[in-house]
Structure 1
Amino acid sequence: MTQTTPLRTDSEPAVEMLRVATAGSVDDGKSTLIGRLLYDSKAIFEDQLASVEDTSRRRGNAHTDLSLLTDGLRAEREQGITIDVAYRYFATPRRKFVIADTPGHIQYTRNMVTGASTADVAMVLVDARKGLLEQSRRHAFLASLLGIPHLVVCVNKMDLVGYDRAVFEAIRTEFAEFAARLDVPDLTFIPVSALNGDNIVTRGTNMPWYEGSSLMHHLEEVHVASDRNLVDVRFPVQYVLRPRDGEHRDYRGYAGTVAAGVLRPGDEVVVLPSGFTTRIAGIDGPDGPVAAAFPPMSVAVRLTDDLDVSRGDMICRPDNRPRTGQDLRAMVCWLAADADLRPGATYALKHTTRTVRARVGEVRYRLDVNTGHRDTECGALALNDIGRVTLRTTAPLFHDTYRRNRATGSFILVDEATNNTVGAGMLLDDAP
């Protein structure tokens, strides 16, 4: 009998996943760059490539239009722009990738916010011929606002400026001066040509003056493990596991996704809102018991004491608890086109696994994402607006600031009449 080799042994590290969001001005080549990444890394099927080549020939293109691999909507292909957020998945031996191709138009700001909200890396494309535009600044500002820790600026279409180093250096200097006013911990610049593949997967020979790595090599090597909060234990309970029959009829586990920190059997924990303390009896993963649980693992936690724990409760450390309160300050991106966010309006607020009702107190200001100006006279937020608001919830939330923890510091607002998601929020701190 022939023995097959397992895909991964316990001694082999798990392949890490990287979430990447692309942004940039219209026609900067975002979709083409992603298509080039997929093509050069051999991550597309033959029938997909054949379809793209056929469409390119029918359009009379002299080359294969790789942007068609991501611009899937008919309206996008007709206009040559990106409207929806297109997600593409591929893997290399080192990493798995989820790439969100977000739109560049200002009227699709809400699409970029939702597409980039979970990203580890933001790629901002700049056309080498046009230099740094208003949209490039806006997308860098949004990436900073969303707390994306790694920003990669790809100066694209270097082939159209003769691979001139001076052009690249001028854009890098101007962008670095602008980014100095933002909260960007890691900033990288890479000159590329998405059309010809220069510095996308391989270095190429057209820019010998560039001494950095290719885009793919950078994405494979960028260190994101330290971006996760492993200090503050946060485990929102999603579901209570109680088998009704069989040998596990006495099993009681609390299932959920670890939002922050590290959980281990024997650790002392407290359950909110009850405030009862206990210890972890064991942690079960999809394949059985685990020695430790950390973000973003989905596990079931067993406790030594039989406590009243239900969906929406939070398990954390007794001496390291999240903020608890009903008065909230937040930056909100408004997603609804048919109604504005106004003081006095009431919505359902979904935060981790907890849902409460929330009333809008006031709209402090609307933020101009192009200039950073704060409009304190706006009084309301319309579609695609981002502004600072105060909220009052019907029950306390166990939360952190968004800068400290993106999982416990974010929420969505839902229209209770239509069940549509109308707002995405980032918690700042407690109101006085």
Structure 2
Amino acid sequence: MTTAPLIDGSGATSLLRFATAGSVDDGKSTLVGRLLHDSKSVLADQLEAVERASQKRGQDTPDLALLTDGLRAEREQGITIDVAYRYFATPRRRFILADTPGHVQYTRNMVTGASTAELAVVLVDARHGVVEQTRRHAAVAALLRVPHVVLAVNKMDLVDYAEPVFAAIAEEFTSYAASLGVKDIVAVPISALAGDNVVEPSARMDWYGGPTLLEHLETVPVGTDPSLEPTRLPVQYVIRPQRGQGVSAEYHDYRGYAGQLASGVLRVGDTVTVLPSGHTTTVTAIDALGAQTDIAWAPRSVTVRLADDIDISRGDLIAAGRAPVPTKDIEATVCHLGERPLRAGDKVLLKHTTRTVRALVKDISYRIDITAPISEGGLEQRSGAEGLNVNDIGHVTLRTAEPLALDEYADNRRTGSFLLIDPADGTTLTAGMAGEAFETVRATEPVEEDWV
């Protein structure tokens, strides 16, 4: 039976971005390789290369993990050490897969891979059950507001495909993830090595009546209704054709503001607010792919023309409907990615959408222990943190040199997130998720004027 493809608002086959995570040796790379192989997403020459590499290592069958562990260091160590992105498609849906490392010291890579994901596949070895790294990955998925989580209980062939083993692991993980606020959790028993329940249903686990992993990936709801989201267009470029450039006379006075819609729907005639200035105007035209259109929705790239001549430049935000209040004081949950610790008093650059401003780390309130047992108040907070080291997650207060229009991350993942950058060498230090933002500055907490 042929299943109809899922179509998004633009008329194209829908796209799912998802990330995989799991402890070392849980079989994550093998799972991704099996998923690509059994869904006929591997080219013949790629499979031949994997077969040759497997033979050189003395293996009788192709090691499907080699389809994702593409770096030489990964192959030599037998582990994944970097985020590997893979693109594949089935008749129902297109996919962008971020295969993230399992080692504790690469938790930051999992943050990178899951930051844009709509679904996270957390892999668990059926022999070991839920371990510390499993809880860490569940906590990261919850903090990043990943809408859907799949628990893939792997290596069921090594526990004789026993239903009680799967049920106990599924119950423990579901309880933990739900306590973190994850609402949609699906558990699937699989054997990546044998192919059970990855693409095809397993005859050896007839006690399981749910979907295979691929079937769930193909049918899980993608995105949200753009009409229910606040409209946000970060300005990337101001287009002003000049005389003598071969443009017709009608475009001599053309002024368009180009960017990618971060969220929501934009229509001709909409009243919009330009932030941080706060000026309001009306959309008179929308250009997309060289043609005019009356409507555009995220994540389409468009050029917008406005009724009034307003001073707008790269980094400004065009918003329709409920707009965030620009502020210089930001409270946020952050994951520190850099090798250099982040400390109170550090001067950094803050990049939000297309805008980059100077900022000061005023305070590091606490560090979150994402491996500690869940209390009634949520994840454990360890106050008095002197700084954040690599892979640490904590709460910070920032002061920026210019006002920024950030949404709450819980409301908008695109315009509620930001990066902290080392101004000395451009290194990415920290990934941030805006929490409570307040408008007033505490007079009792002066800020160094030479920086902000």
2:35 paired with 1:33: no
User: 5 Å matches for 1:42-121?
Assistant: 42-121=40-119
Once the two structures are superposed, residues 269-318 of structure 1 have per-residue CA deviations (whole angstroms, 9 ceiling, x without a partner) of 1212332222111111125222322221111111122222111111113x
* 2:434 aligned residue: 427
CA drift at 1:394: 0.4
Instruction: Report the TM-score when normalising by structure 1.
Output: 0.94
Q: What amino acid is aligned across from residue 314 of structure 2 in structure 1? A: R
SS at match of 2:387: coil
Q: What amino acid is aligned across from residue 293 of structure 2 in structure 1? A: V
Q: Is contact 1:229–1:405 with CA below 8 Å preserved after alignment?
A: no
* 1:417 aligned residue: 424
* 2:358 aligned residue: 357
SS at match of 1:263: strand
Q: Is contact 2:227–2:265 with CA below 8 Å preserved after alignment?
A: no
Once the two structures are superposed, residues 89-116 of structure 1 have per-residue CA deviations (whole angstroms, 9 ceiling, x without a partner) of 1111221111111011111111111111
* 1:391 aligned residue: 398
User: 5 Å matches for 1:109-148?
Assistant: 109-148=107-146
SS at match of 2:127: coil
Once the two structures are superposed, residues 341-400 of structure 1 have per-residue CA deviations (whole angstroms, 9 ceiling, x without a partner) of 111110110001111101001111111221133221221011111111100000100011
CA drift at 1:259: 1.5
Once the two structures are superposed, residues 230-283 of structure 1 have per-residue CA deviations (whole angstroms, 9 ceiling, x without a partner) of 331211111111122311332211111111221101111121233222211111
Distance in 1 between residues matched to 2:215 and 2:286, nearest whole Å: 36
Larger displacement relative to structure 2 (73-82 or 139-148) = 73-82
Distance in 2 between residues matched to 1:177 and 1:273, nearest whole Å: 42
Instruction: Report the TM-score when normalising by structure 2.
Output: 0.90
2:299 paired with 1:296: yes
Give every structure 1 segment of 4 or more consecutive aligned residues whose post-TM-superposition deviation is greater than 6 Å.
9-12
CA 374–174 in structure 1, closer or farther in 2 if over 3 Å, else same: same
* 2:219 aligned residue: 221
Distance in 2 between residues matched to 1:357 and 1:229, nearest whole Å: 34
* 1:368 aligned residue: 369
Q: 1:193 aligns with which of 191, 194, 197?
A: 191
Distance in 2 between residues matched to 1:203 and 1:237, nearest whole Å: 47
Distance in 2 between residues matched to 1:287 and 1:171, nearest whole Å: 53
Q: What amino acid is aligned across from residue 298 of structure 1 in structure 2? A: S
Q: CA RMSD in A?
A: 1.8
CA 59–375 in structure 1, closer or farther in 2 if over 3 Å, else same: same
Once the two structures are superposed, residues 319-338 of structure 1 have per-residue CA deviations (whole angstroms, 9 ceiling, x without a partner) of 5111311111111111221x
Q: Which runs of 5+ in 1 are unaligned?
A: 1-8
Identical counterparts, % of pairs: 56
* 1:325 aligned residue: 327
SS at match of 1:226: coil
Q: What amino acid is aligned across from residue 432 of structure 2 in structure 1? A: G
Q: What amino acid is aligned across from residue 330 of structure 2 in structure 1? A: L
CA drift at 1:58: 1.4
* 1:257 aligned residue: 260
In the comparison of the two structures, how many residue pairs are matched? 422
Distance in 2 between residues matched to 1:241 and 1:277, nearest whole Å: 20
Q: What amino acid is aligned across from residue 345 of structure 1 in structure 2? A: D
Distance in 1 between residues matched to 2:227 and 2:172, nearest whole Å: 32
* 1:4 aligned residue: none
CA drift at 1:15: 1.3
Distance in 1 between residues matched to 2:93 and 2:252, nearest whole Å: 40
Distance in 2 between residues matched to 1:109 and 1:116, nearest whole Å: 11
SS at match of 1:234: strand
2:313 paired with 1:310: yes
